[in-house]
Structure 1
Amino acid sequence: MALALLQSRALLGLAAPQVTVEVHLANGLPSFTLVGLADVEVKEARERVRSALLNSGLEFPHNQRITVNLAPADLPKDSGRFDLPIALGILAASGQIDGTRLAGWEFAGELSLSGELRPVRGALAVAAALQQAGVDAQLVLPPGSAEEAALVPGLAVHRARHLLDVVARFLPAATPVPPDLGDGFARVPPAPRAEGPRYADLADVKGQAAAKRALEIAAAGGHSLLLMGPPGTGKSMLAQRFAGLLPPMSEAEALQSAAVASLGGSFSLERWGQRPTRAPHHSASAVALVGGGSPPRPGEISLAHQGVLFLDELPEFPRAALEALREPLESGHITISRAAQRADFPASFQMVAAMNPCPCGYLGSAQRACRCTPDQIARYQGKLSGPLIDRIDLHVEVGALPPDELLAAPAGEPTAAVRARCMAARERALARQGVPNQALSGQAIDQHARLDEAARSFLHTAATRLGWSARATHRALKVARSIADLAGSDVVGTVHVAEAVQYRRALRGP
């Protein structure tokens, strides 16, 4: 009878709770039992581990009763990340490796039938959680996953290509050392990072000065944006270039954004430090947008954390999906609750939405006549609820350019020049109040807005005549504060409020 203990990690949101892998070998009818609230893919590890051990030339205890427990028993476990620790536990319990040398190490990796190690989802999220918790442990991960985890400073991360590479590292002291396996087991140095993120250039968009101005204001203050106009006017081009106007991510922001991407299985080293732009199709469900499942996985709003969420054809999204965005737009995070567990994901994104003014798309266009009836227009625009529209700071009309103007228009202002102005305005706001203007709330709005009397009176008159809610009034005030920061003004004047009011126009009806 023998017992071996190893350490691994599960994934629960961005947390990485520790899992103790207990392997017990006993005499009795041969069996392989796996317990501990394991999902289907974890239970399938029995066959993967058996084949990997045999194909690697190692002994599998066929004539013994094998019991594997993944503790704690009430924590759900999923994916094939426990293949490697289960295999090592069997080897340690059967005396093929030295179980006492496994202390201080943590393992994760999926095994192929030949013993090769395959990447696992969420390696960077696990490493970030370990750093945040101050855990001093050495991680052993497969290729690809190890390079992700090595991005977290201060962690000892080792890459293993094959099960035999790990076995050779933990052989008993009296066992002859096998021949050199090359770089099969090696500590991974921090991966070299790209020189700088690359974004599409705003200079590619000709004309549309008003829309570009709105993008600049949104980037300076962290505001959400709705672009309305006929098809083919450049709404998607503008949205896809918006991330390049945002300031570079800090080390902490880049790490958190990459950890969420790793949890979703979409991280790549080439995009380190680049603000993500997520553009889900309008058929996406509410769960796809905000996250969900069992265990909970991040949705599009979390994968767009510290970046841009672009919703094209906004009225075509399901009503439930759009309404689910209301809370994250305000709070910057999302909590997914299920009967057995709860997970918190960050969702601090800037939303850029685009839509046509009517079903045919040509309402108010000088190029083509609209063929929609008033009822069709009302139903189309009515798909967007008032509370959701209230939470979008800037509403901008993007008109069609005549062919002669389009062909004769020079290249626009490059992204770098616009980004410099946005960064200067945002730094001014951060120095004044510590957060971007969009994040102001409560008394901080009155304290830092600094409206002069004429601007205050103008805003009061505009809000009364347009029938704004308190939220819409405060959002217009925060947009005015961003406009003043772009102008280098400490005080919000009438000219700044007047421009902000123009960006709060309601959708055009029939």
Structure 2
Amino acid sequence: MKQLLCATFEGIDAASVEVQFTATKGLPAFTIVGMANTAITESKERVKSALLSNGFTFPPKRLTVNLAPSDLRKEGSHFDLPIAALIALGNYEGDIGDWYVFGELGLDGSVTENILLYPIILSLANQGAISRAIVPNVSLSKLSKIPNITFYGVDSLSEALELLRAQKLPEEKAHLSTFDFNHIIHNEKSYYYHEHYPLDFIDIKGQEHAKRSALIAAAGMHNLLLEGSPGSGKSMIAKRLVHIMPPLYNDEMLECAKLEILEGKEPSFAPLRPFRSPHHSSTGASIFGGGTHKAQIGEVGLAHGGILFFDELPHFSKTVLEALREPLEDRHIRISRVNTKVTYNANFLFVAAMNPCPCGNLFSTTIACRCSDLEINRYKSRLSDPFLDRIDLYVQMHAVSAEDKPSISSRQLHAKVREAFLRQKMRGQERLNGALSDAEIAHYCPLTPETQHVIDQAIGRFGLSFRAVSRVLKVARTIADIEGESDIGKAHLLEALSYRKR
């Protein structure tokens, strides 16, 4: 029995699959077993045509291909190449070694790519399960960005067979691409960023308080809620925020590309974090992920490492808002179904925008509000206190004024974010301030007797919860980083407290 290695998706991660082949005496037949989906069972016709087109003949035996483990569902046309290669190597007596082989076959034996190859191989690389692979030549430009793997690109089934039979592998290896972007180097690790701002904060006139909160949110990945009248600039700030986010290191950029592919897009490999903005009519399954037999990733998972923006926040269903509390706190989400249980990473910056009342004119000094107190209370009661307790920065935006002027550009804000980011890394933080654990808060956010007294007073006056105190300290830490201070001062703490919703 000969075998090669391939892989399939198990949730959002890949699982290795052994492709095994035997030819036994019996009536001629070709069978694929091992919980293969339609795309794999249909590969029998592609494999037959590819082999016959390249001068191979099917042995008059019972051919059986087993995909192990047999209790794991397999899917994807990239199993074509390993199946065909094993059948073609049926009489080969040499050792073919432990190869990962991926590729979809054309009827003439050509090897083409499958859109799932990149996320599958990246997942295997993160698990340390793969060191070399035979892949389609057309996929090399994307796959070669994954480090620590030797790729051998092939254009046809015959080229793949030559590699598998080779006693000495060719010297030419897949070109390992490097990212050609601006970067910061710290501890021999590169963090990449861009300086292209198609949406610029210079377009926003006035709203200095909101711009300041956007800077703090970006520098420390703190959740942000903007409340203001229609047209005050809430959505403008949210959409510009993604362009001033902290730099990305190599693994994060690869992960962003993986999420783009899972969404059906061509990966850009650019140092730009994801920006997801679901409509308020979206279902819970589309936002959090789900499915009967296979748990699909939702908007929360696709926003990992970037921004999840909820416009018109109170119009989202109560169920969705309450379910959002788990990823906001734990930074992952678990989807449980009868057939599968999957955990997705969900470490994102949550940004929300809302009107102060149903008609939107409560804060206006020129237009009268048409809402009754009952309507306003019912509108705001859609947001529960436990949900609001997970919001780090709450900002009320004033109405637009003729005196408002542009003040600061995205390039200037991004420079401040990068400086604050570097200070966090120089302290030895693996995570940004917004994601610090309780133990890390105690280590990186120490308080003097004066600042501790401020916190104690705030707890008594505003009834802050333990979670709220932790979030205030993390915001104060980010403010100190922006100001270039090594210690949290009283002014930083008071500013952080001013952003709490009361």
Shift of 1:389: 1.3
Alignment partner for residue 470 of structure 1, among 458, 466, 481? 466
Q: 1:310 to 1:23 in 2, by over 3 A?
A: same
CA distance in 2 between counterparts of 1:478 and 1:170 reads 55
Could you tell me which residue of structure 1 aligns to residue 175 of structure 2? 189
SS, match of residue 481 in structure 1: helix
- 1:431 pairs with 2:426: yes
- 1:159 pairs with 2:153: yes
Q: 1:160 to 1:336 in 2, by over 3 A?
A: farther
Q: 1:275 to 1:70 in 2, by over 3 A?
A: same
CA distance in 1 between counterparts of 2:129 and 2:442 reads 43
How does 1:102-501 map onto structure 2 within 5 Å? Answer: 102-135=96-129, 137-167=131-161, 169=163, 187-191=173-177, 193-196=179-182, 197=194, 198-199=196-197, 200-268=199-267, 270-293=268-291, 294-402=293-401, 404-405=402-403, 409-410=405-406, 412-432=407-427, 434=429, 435-501=431-497
- 1:77 pairs with 2:74: yes
Q: Which amino acid aligns with 1:195?
A: F
Q: 1:316 to 1:271 in 2, by over 3 A?
A: farther
Q: Which amino acid aligns with 2:475?
A: V
Q: Deviation digits for residues 74-101 of structure 1, max 9, x if unmatched?
A: 22212222122222223223x5xx4746
Structure 2 stretches lacking a partner, 5+ long: 183-193
Q: Which amino acid aligns with 1:437?
A: N
Could you tell me which residue of structure 2 aligns to residue 23 of structure 1? 21
SS, match of residue 309 in structure 2: strand
Could you tell me which residue of structure 2 aligns to residue 181 of structure 1? none
Contact 1:8 1:21 in 2 (8 A): yes
Alignment partner for residue 62 of structure 2, among 60, 65, 68? 65
Q: 1:467 to 1:168 in 2, by over 3 A?
A: same
CA distance in 1 between counterparts of 2:54 and 2:443 reads 72
Contact 1:333 1:346 in 2 (8 A): yes
CA distance in 2 between counterparts of 1:57 and 1:44 reads 19
Contact 1:7 1:107 in 2 (8 A): yes
Could you tell me which residue of structure 2 aligns to residue 7 of structure 1? 5
Q: Which amino acid aligns with 1:483?
A: I
Shift of 1:213: 0.1
Q: Deviation digits for residues 135-191 of structure 1, max 9, x if unmatched?
A: 464312235533222111231112334445435655799xxxxxxxxxxxx853124
Q: 1:232 to 1:306 in 2, by over 3 A?
A: same
CA distance in 2 between counterparts of 1:326 and 1:99 reads 59
SS, match of residue 248 in structure 2: coil
CA distance in 1 between counterparts of 2:329 and 2:367 reads 38
Shift of 1:22: 1.6
Contact 1:328 1:348 in 2 (8 A): yes
- TM-score, normalised relative to structure 2: 0.85
CA distance in 2 between counterparts of 1:452 and 1:278 reads 40
Shift of 1:8: 0.8
Contact 1:12 1:296 in 2 (8 A): no
Contact 2:229 2:397 in 1 (8 A): yes
Q: Deviation digits for residues 193-221 of structure 1, max 9, x if unmatched?
A: 34353343322322221111001111222
SS, match of residue 82 in structure 1: helix
Contact 1:127 1:155 in 2 (8 A): no
Q: 1:357 to 1:66 in 2, by over 3 A?
A: farther
CA distance in 2 between counterparts of 1:289 and 1:102 reads 45
SS, match of residue 81 in structure 1: helix
Q: 1:389 to 1:48 in 2, by over 3 A?
A: farther
CA distance in 1 between counterparts of 2:141 and 2:423 reads 37
Q: 1:19 to 1:153 in 2, by over 3 A?
A: same
Q: 1:502 to 1:82 in 2, by over 3 A?
A: same
CA distance in 2 between counterparts of 1:226 and 1:193 reads 34
Shift of 1:120: 2.3
CA distance in 2 between counterparts of 1:450 and 1:401 reads 40
CA distance in 2 between counterparts of 1:63 and 1:374 reads 83
CA distance in 1 between counterparts of 2:298 and 2:236 reads 24
Structure 1 stretches lacking a partner, 5+ long: 174-185
SS, match of residue 14 in structure 2: coil
CA distance in 2 between counterparts of 1:60 and 1:283 reads 57
RMSD: 3.0
SS, match of residue 360 in structure 1: coil
SS, match of residue 17 in structure 1: strand
Shift of 1:276: 1.9
SS, match of residue 282 in structure 1: coil
Contact 2:363 2:399 in 1 (8 A): no
CA distance in 1 between counterparts of 2:220 and 2:358 reads 32
CA distance in 2 between counterparts of 1:208 and 1:31 reads 73
Q: Which amino acid aligns with 1:298?
A: I
Q: 1:335 to 1:79 in 2, by over 3 A?
A: same
Contact 2:103 2:113 in 1 (8 A): yes
Shift of 1:123: 2.8
Could you tell me which residue of structure 2 aligns to residue 182 of structure 1? none
Aligned-pair identity in percent equals 39
Contact 1:121 1:264 in 2 (8 A): no
- TM-score, normalised relative to structure 1: 0.84
CA distance in 2 between counterparts of 1:117 and 1:324 reads 44
Q: Deviation digits for residues 252-281 of structure 1, max 9, x if unmatched?
A: 32233334444554351x333322222223
Q: Which amino acid aligns with 1:366?
A: T
Q: Which amino acid aligns with 2:16?
A: Q
Q: 1:485 to 1:102 in 2, by over 3 A?
A: same
CA distance in 1 between counterparts of 2:311 and 2:59 reads 57
